[in-house]
Amino acid sequence: METQDILAACRPSARQQALRRAKNRVLACVMGMSAVVVMLPLFLVLYFLIKEGASSIDFHFFTQLPKPAGEVGGGMANGIVGSLVLLAMAAALGVPIGVMGGVYLAEYGSDRANTLVRFLADVLNGVPSIVWGMVVYAMLVVPFKTFSAYAGGVALGLMMIPLVMRTTEEVLLLVPQSYREAGLALGIARWKIITVIVIKTALKGIITGILVALARVAGETAPLLFTALGNNFWSHNLSQPIAALPLQIFQYSISPYDDWHRQAWAGALVLMLLILGINLFVRLLSRDKSAS
């Protein structure tokens, strides 16, 4: 008597089974739909960028300066060039310091010191980009009484340092210790071992990290708002304000002029292509060499 009853109680009824299975299917659907919803914004953004911006991208867009407010026409040549100039300056600051710092963490540092530096680098990576703008404003704009390309480049460069440092460190740590030992056993000086052997082995990863950081700061607007400021003309002097693509996109978007809205889309498309281009390049680089 008892065993049969207990067994019957443990075995779920057919109805219960069906309910559980149905629940399973519903939830599976929900999860699948979530994935679709999450992917949707990217496609929508790209679609509208192309729809609204592609037609405005022509030779003039790349070569002409902005026209005065309200007038139709003109281009974003200065913004595109300005962005490239700022990126070059950012790289000049961020790459050497970031890579060398990563070298120190991977090759020389002690456990405790490294944990601290890594932790602080991660903290810095979480600082909102507008704060960097404020810091560089106080540091470079106020004392020299002028907004400048230098200030903009420095702001972006400072943002790059913790990013590049961490990625460089991670990649260097992946290089097997036996290569360093082989170099030492040949009587080669330590710094040569690091630069010629270790860094060379990890080079692809280091470059990938740098490119990712560049793609990230290429789209930053906030730090430039009060450092580079923006410029409607060509900058002939790096200690003067300089135009930048994200700044122009922002300015044009919030303006009341339809023509500027059109150009904002075009500029956004160019910026997006630049960033996607860098990311694609990074992907290609990483695919060549399979992860060790």
Partner 1 sequence: MPDISFRWLAMLAALTILGLVALVGWELYSGAQQAVRQFGPGFLVRSTWNPVSDVYGALPFIYGTLVSSLIALVIAVPLGVATALFLTEMAPMRIRQPVITVIEMLAAVPSVIFGLWGIFVLIPWLRDHLYSWLKDYFGYLPIFGGPVYGVGMLTGGIIVAIMILPIITSVSREILRSVPDLQREAAYALGATHWEVIRIAVLSYARRGIFGAAVLGLGRALGETMAVTMVIGNRPQIAASLFAPAYTVASVIANEFTEATTDMYLSALFELGLVLLGLTILVNIVAQLMLRALTGGASGRT
Partner 2 sequence: MPEASIEPPPTATRPAVPTAEPKSPAPEESPAFDIRGFSLWYGARQALNDVTIKIPARRVTAIIGPSGCGKSTFLRALNRMHEVTPGTRIEGSLRLFGDDLYGAGVDPASVRRRVGMVFQKSNPFPTMSIEENVLVGLRLNGVRDRGFLRQRLEESLRLSALWEEVKDHLRRPGVSLSGGQQQRLCIARALAVQPEVLLMDEPCSALDPIATARIEELIQLLREKFTVVIVTHNMQQAARSSDKTAFFYLGRLIEFGETRNLFTSPSNPQTEAYVSGRFG
Q: Return all residues near 111 (Cβ < 8 A) that are at least 6 apart.
A: none
The residue from 65, 84, 238, 272 that contacts partner 1 (CB under 8 A) is 272
Task: Retrieve residue 130's tokens.
Answer: 């507008």
**Residue 150 in the binding site for partner 1 (CB under 8 A):** no
CB of 48 or CB of 234, closer to partner 1? 48
Is residue 268 close enough to count as binding partner 1 by CB under 8 A?
yes
Q: Which of 65, 77, 84, 109 binds partner 1 (CB under 8 A)?
A: 109
Closest CA to 100 of 197, 234, 211, 195: 195
Residue 43 C-beta: closest distance to partner 1, Å: 8
Positions in the binding site for partner 2 (CB under 8 A): 176, 178-189, 192, 196-197, 200-201, 203
Residues 131, 71 contacting (CB under 8 angstroms):
no
Q: Would you give the end-to-end CA distance of the chain in angstroms?
A: 64
Q: How far is the CB of 289 from partner 1 (least distance, A)?
A: 18
Residues 6+ apart with CB under 8 A from 137: 151, 226, 227
Q: Considering only residues 6, 18, 44, 72, which one is a binding residue for partner 1 as defined by CB under 8 A?
A: 44
Asked if 34 interacts with partner 1 (CB under 8 A), we say yes
Q: CA 166 to CA 172: how far, in whole Å?
A: 10
Residue (138 or 189) nearer to partner 2, CB? 189
Question: Is there binding between residue 148 and partner 1 (CB under 8 A)?
Answer: no
Query: Binding partner of residue 16 among partner 1, partner 2, none, CB under 5 to 8 Å per kind?
Result: none
Q: What angle do CA 213, 217, 220 make, to 5 degrees?
A: 155
Please name the residue that has the structure tokens 């929900």. 30
Structure tokens at 23: 């629940």
Q: What is the DSSP letter of 57?
A: -
Instruction: Give the C-alpha distances (Å, rounded to integers) separating 96 from 39, 99, 102, 160, 210.
Output: 36, 5, 10, 11, 10
Q: Single out the residue of 76, 149, 151, 165 in contact with partner 1 (rule: CB under 8 A).
A: 165
Q: Which positions from 75 through 104 interact with partner 1, judged by CB under 8 A? A: 96-101, 103-104
How far is the C-alpha of 20 from the C-alpha of 11, rounded, in Å? 13
Task: Please identify, among the stretches 67-75, 80-88, 179-187, 271-279, the one whose residues bind partner 1 according to the rule CB under 8 A.
Answer: 271-279
Kindly report the length of the chain.
292
Question: How many C-beta atoms lie closer than 10 Å to residue 148's C-beta?
Answer: 22
* Binding test (CB under 8 A) with partner 1, winner from 166, 198, 199, 263: 166
State yes or no: residue 7 binds partner 1 (CB under 8 A).
no
**Closer Cβ to partner 1, 1 or 111, answer by number:** 111
- 5, 13, 41, 187: residue in contact with partner 1 (rule CB under 8 A): 41
Total of chain residues touching partner 1, rule CB under 8 A: 91
Residues 204-243 that bind partner 1 (CB under 8 A): 215-216, 218-222, 225-226, 229
* Residue at 156: amino acid letter: L
Q: What is the DSSP letter of 188?
A: -
Judged by beta carbon distances under 5 to 8 A according to partner kind, the member of partner 1, partner 2, none in contact with residue 201 is partner 2
**189 part of the interface to partner 1, by CB under 8 A:** yes
| CB-based contact 161:98 (threshold 8 Å) | yes
CB-nearer residue toward partner 1: 91 or 222:
222
